[in-house]
Amino acid sequence: MIFNISYNSFNNYDDPKHIVENPYIPISIVVLYTVFVIWLGPFIMKSREPYKLKKILIFYNFFQVVANAFICIEEFGRVMWFLYITKFIDLLDTVFFVLRKKQAQVTFLHVFHHSGICLLVFWFMIHTEEVAGSYCAFAMGLNSGIHVLMYIYYGIAALGPNMKKYLWWKKYLTALQIGQLCIIFLYMLISVLIGCEELGAFSTITFIYLVFVIILFVNFYAKYRKPRTQKTVIL
C-alpha cells in the first residue's frame, strides 16, 4: 500500500472499536430511519402542520460545517470515531425534511446514500486492519470537504428567504457531488490497478456502491438541471 494512514493512526490513538462491537445497533438505526422517513414520518405528519425548525436548522447546519471541517483538517486516525458518529447524525437531514413536510426531497437516492454510507463506515470501523487504505482517508476527507460547502449553503438558506440572493451557487452543488464521487472512484480504481490496494470484499462493495450512486446522481442532475426545477441532495 502507498501508506496505511487509517490503520496506523487508528492504533496510535484511542481505539473506538468498542462503540461498534454490536452490529445490531447501527443496523437497527438504519432500519428505523428508513421506516420513519418513508412511511411512519409522512403518516404522522399527514394531518399536521409542517414544523419550521428554523433555530434547530441553523444550529444543526453550523454544527455540520464545524464537524466536517474538523474531519478535513485533523489526522484521520484521530477522527475515526467522530466520523462514524457524524454519518448517523447525517440521517437527521432526512428527518428534518419529513418534519417540514418536504417529502419530495426524500428521494430514493437520498435515502439509499445515507443508509448505505452508514453501513459502509460501520464495516470499515469493525474491519479496519483488513480494509484500511489510503483511499479511505482520501475519500472521507474529500467527502467532508464537500459537506462543508453543502452545509454552509443550507445554513444560509435556513436564515430565511431574505438570504436567497446569496444562494446563487446552488446549481453547482450537485455537480460538485458528482465530481467528488468520480474522483474517489478513479482514485480507488488506480490504487487497485497499480497494486497499492487490494481488491477485497470492502473495496468491491464500495466500487459497486459508488457506481450505483454516481448513476443515480447523474440521472438526478440530468432530470433537474433547469434552474427553476433544480434541487440539491445532501451527500
* First CA to last CA distance, the chain: 28
Distance between CA atoms of 90 and 78, rounded to whole angstroms?
20
SS3 for 147-195 is: HHHHHHHHHHHHCCHHHHHHCCCHHHHHHHHHHHHHHHHHHHHHHHHCC
Cell of 147: 459537506
Do 130 and 4 meet the contact criterion of CB atoms below 8 Å apart?
no
The DSSP result for 221-234, as a single string, is HHHT-STTT-----
Say if residues 214 and 178 touch (Cβ distance below 8 Å): yes
Q: For residue 114, indicate whether it is catalytic.
A: no
119: which 3 cell numbers? Answer: 453501513
Please pick, among 18, 110, 113, 127, the residue that the annotation labels catalytic. Answer: 113
Q: Measure the CA dihedral 133/92/57/49, to 10°.
A: 160
Residues with a catalytic annotation lie at: 113
